[in-house]
Amino acid sequence: MSSPVNLSARQKAAILLVSLPPEVSAQIFREFGPEEVQAISMEISKLPPVSPEIRAMVVQEFLQSNESSGFKDLAMSGLSNPVFDRETDLRKSDTRTAPLEFLKKVDPKQLLSILRKEHPQTVSLVLSYLPAAQASMILKEFSPSMQTEIAQRLAELEKISPEILEEIERVLEEKLFAAVEGEPGIPDGREALVEILNQSDHSIENKIITGLTHKSPKLADEIKSKLCEFEDLNNIDDASLQQVLRLTDIRDLVLALKGADARLAERIYGCMSPEVANAIREDVNMLGNVSWDEIKAAQQQIRNILRGLVTLKKITFRQII
């Protein structure tokens, strides 16, 4: 891609927004007007792969710009990713309080890409030092046979000598550092745009989709196909619906069903065992009066799970939406 000198302001904004965590980019989008939102969204969707060097220079230019003060602090909060923090060496250990502590701050996707190539014994050891929620997210991405192998080794794990732990730390740090240094850049602007929209509120999402529909209907349809709503649970097959339900918090499900239409509610109950379905029905009936905001928030949590699975191509639709 061109050097930063040859990039337009909109292209630089697109690179910056895609480089930040989606939740930060979604907040920055709120600083723009409708036309700017639509224009930058179009630039994001057209982005080719961007080298780490170009990305770093764009970020640096943004931080040095006097005109960036409107949302500079917000952007700074999202620049702690080691992709941009080249001066933060993963191998620094003087501030760690426990073995493998640095792994808690590593992007789960990066960590997973490294662990997939490791022996199950190493994977089980790493998972034993991670917070339960982070370890669970990583474990579920392995095949069923590997999950069993890792789980067994994790359950039978004995005390590891400090020397072995230090060596495992050193190897993993080197692999993660090499992976960060060798990143090819932004792989897909469209997927990045979908991630940002997943973190945006409906008003921003509607502005962007409306603008894209006028300028590029085909692109708008492609983006919309990945931005499912809670009601789209009716459009996926039973196996896909069960995937979503397995990842859903029970309280979110109860609240969501409180405001769901009867057809969708029965569809969801039908994907459960009779005992679980009856228990959930009782919880919904006992819920009493709850605000619509609470119901919508719960439905959006489930919507986000569905969107994530769609992005990962793990969802099968019963019909085109």
DSSP secondary structure, 5-50, as one string: GGS-HHHHHHHHHHHS-HHHHHHHHTTS-HHHHHHHHHHHHH----
**Top CATH class, 101-181:** mainly alpha
**Top CATH class, 4-83+184-206:** mainly alpha
Cβ atoms of residues 106 and 176 within 8 Å: yes
Pick out the chain residues at pLDDT < 50. Answer: 66, 68, 80-96, 181-187, 320-321
What is the pLDDT, as a whole number, of residue 95? 45
CA distance 88 to 82: 7
DSSP 160: P
Closest C-alpha among 74, 130, 75, 136 to residue 105: 130
What is the pLDDT, as a whole number, of residue 12? 85
What is the pLDDT, as a whole number, of residue 321? 43
Q: Do domains 4-83+184-206 and 230-311 have the same CATH topology?
A: yes
Model pLDDT for residues 179-202, shown as the tens digit of each residue: 554 444 444 577 778 778 876 777
**Top CATH class, 230-311:** mainly alpha
Number of other residues whose CB lies within 10 A of the CB of residue 299: 22
What are the extents of the domains in the chain?
Answer: 4-83+184-206, 101-181, 230-311
